[in-house]
Structure 1
Amino acid sequence: MTSTIDTVALTTGKPRGATPRKRPPVTVGGLATNAFLWLYAAFAISPLILMVLNSLRTTQDMAQRPLGLPLPPNFESYAKAWVTASFETYFLNSIVVTVCSVLLSTGVSLMAAYAFARTTSKTLKTLEGVFLSGLMLPVYLAILPLFYMLDAVRMTSNLLSLILIYGALGIPFSTFVLASFFRQLPIELDEAARLDGAGPFQTFWRIHLPLVRPAIATVVVFRFVPVWNDFFYPLILIRDQTKYTLPVGITRFFGEYQTDWATLFAGLTLATIPLVVLFLVATKQIVSGLTAGMSK
């Protein structure tokens, strides 16, 4: 006959005789810290909530009730911002430039970081120093030679020029982060793969790449945000309004709709949605990447 202890072990999934884990004691300092963090989070997110709520109201309603709720919600401002104010064009341009440049910099950095982390060649070690030296150079100082070079080959007002510039600017940081993660992987993985007949590329693609997914997510997010929000390079290099990205397009958008508050809030909400979605999707990987190596 099964004893009571065995029955409890079977139903709870805990081994017989296992002692329950004790929760850490609640302290006044811990409660105060949690309360402060929740208060700070509420304070930080409140402008985003107000922006979304006001985008669902009319300008007349906001003038009459500044802190009112969108009852009923009005989505006409989103249609006006997307179609009439050319927000669709700005949004798609930003998506193309940001996604392509992040893929370019991440792809190059992955292969370079793997080579730097696994090499013993002094030449490649020197080349790694050249890669990382890009972290010490102020990127905006290169705008004049870049402009003259792109103008000479007639690549101004071209999204490809932005993709190449952002991709090149992201390589030093991405290589530095990814090489640090590759160096944490044991060399025995390479030796075991070599014994199984795998070449360097197969070892990189099938073994190491899945293990550094948190680092890849961290690099993607840290490159996506500044490229998406960058105002400087599109302002200098893009002259055609149909090639404007969101930051430059929003300045023109504000000039035309400065009295139409509902449309302005709708446009800002549309510009913020990709960043919010990216953080929500990649939060777990980002935390894993930032805390890797902190605990055993």
Structure 2
Amino acid sequence: MTPRPATNSFGRALASHAILIAYTVIALFPVLVIVVNSFKQRNAIFRSPLSLPNSETFSLVGYETVMAQGDFLHYFQNSLVVTVASLFFVLLFGAMAAFALSEYRFRGNSLMGLYLALGIMIPIRLGTVAILQLMVAGGLVNTLTALILVYTAQGLPLAVFILSEFMKQVSDDLKNAGRIDGLSEYTIFFRLVLPLVRPAMATVAVFTMIPIWNDLWFPLILAPAEETKTVTLGAQVFIGQFVTNWNAVLSALSLAILPVLVLYIIFSRQLIAGITAGAVK
């Protein structure tokens, strides 16, 4: 039997990468148009929206307006604190709960998994009134803690659902060998299991991070004060005030988009590995 030529595999891999690049360009094109036009004069935006800025059309007046009229550095700080803290708790508690559901058999295991699955299907926004009443009773309105608690609860069902499936694939022999060596369950979890499900953790992080960063509903309901505004809420308020100032609007949108885009690019390799894990051999 003659071996299968390697050129076929190389050709398929090349075609897959070409398709991925094409989809990436299509997805990023609107973002690039917004960012490019944010560095242009107003008349150049309408005259040639797809062209790059040059010495005649380049202008930073939009960013000057944004920095002068809105405290975007503080908004970025609030969004960063809320997003990072929420991701930390979602990944920590989600991974621990997924490990418990996949590793241990106890009464109510299946019901607990079903309950968490329902948390994915039922939007948390349906409980906005009850959440607001709870935050008012706890004195957490207009605090970043309120947003962190809500986003942690919002992200946990999906995190547990995804991570439990990946943790079931971790070798039982590896975990039993650790127990024989005298490792505690926490040591097995943090040193043996978590490194093996890192792509899945990155996948959960991306799918959790983007809705948190882009969310407008809960910051508007729970933390609308100036000192607790997130960048999305601040950008929306700014756009409402400068709706006819296209330089300022595009600059505000660029500032709101770029951070999450950078984080997405950083986690993209792990995201693809987590999505495709188990799909191909």
Aligned to 1:6: none
Q: Aligned ranges for residues 251-262 of structure 1 at < 5 Å?
A: 251-262=236-247
Match of residue 148, structure 2, among 152, 163, 187: 163
214, 235, 240: which one aligns with 1:250: 235
Residues 74-111 of structure 1, C-alpha deviation per residue, up to 9 Å, x if partnerless? Answer: 34533432343222222221111111111111110011
> Are 1:99 and 2:84 an aligned pair?
yes
Which residue matches 1:174?
A: 159
CA contact (8 A) 2:239 2:252 kept: no
- Matching residue of 2:219: 234
Which amino acid letter does the alignment assign opposite residue 184 of structure 2?
G
Partner of 1:119: 104
Aligned position for 1:200: 185
Answering whether residue 280 of structure 2 is matched by residue 295 of structure 1, we say: yes
Whether the 8 Å contact between 2:33 and 2:49 is mirrored in structure 1 is no
Aligned to 1:185: 170
Match of 1:15 in 2: none
Amino acid at match of 1:58: Q
Written as runs of structure 1 = structure 2, the 5 A alignment for 1:123-138 is: 123-138=108-123
1:45 is aligned to 2:28: yes
Distance 2:218 2:89 in 1: 18
Shift in Å, 1:71: 1.1
Q: Distance in 2 between matches of 1:193 and 1:38?
A: 42
Could you tell me how far 1:147 is from its partner in structure 2? Answer: 0.9
Question: C-alpha root-mean-square deviation of aligned residues, in Å?
Answer: 2.7
Shift of 1:24: 5.2
Query: 1:24 and 1:160, CA in 2 relative to 1: closer, same or farther beyond 3 A?
Result: closer
Distance in 2, Cα, partners of 1:19 & 1:35: 23
Taking the aligned partners of 1:111 and 1:25, their CA distance within structure 2 comes to 40
Distance in 2 separating the partners of 1:153 and 1:244: 20
Change (3 A) 1:172 1:25: closer
In structure 2, which of residues 18, 40, 65 is the aligned counterpart of residue 57 of structure 1? 40
Structure 2 unaligned regions, length at least 5: none
Residue aligning to 1:12? none
Percent identical residues: 33
CA positional deviation for 1:267: 1.4
Using structure 1 for the length normalisation, give the TM-score: 0.83
Q: How many residues align?
A: 276
Larger Rg: 1
Taking the aligned partners of 1:24 and 1:199, their CA distance within structure 2 comes to 44
What CA distance in whole angstroms lies between the structure 2 residues aligned with 1:35 and 1:193? 43
| Aligned position for 1:147 | 132
**Residues of 2 paired with 1:226 and 1:139: CA distance?**
12
TM score, norm. by length of structure 2: 0.88
Q: Counterparts of 1:66 and 1:207 in 2: how far apart (Å)? A: 52
Q: Which amino acid aligns with 1:197?
A: G
The Cα shift of 1:174 comes to 0.3
Q: Deviations over 1:51-73 (max 9, x none)?
A: 11111112244355545431134
Shift of 1:231: 1.2
Q: Return 5+ residue gaps in structure 1 as ranges.
A: 1-17
State the alpha-carbon separation in 2 of the partners of residues 35 and 198 from structure 1.
Answer: 46
Q: 1:266 aligns with which of 251, 256, 269?
A: 251
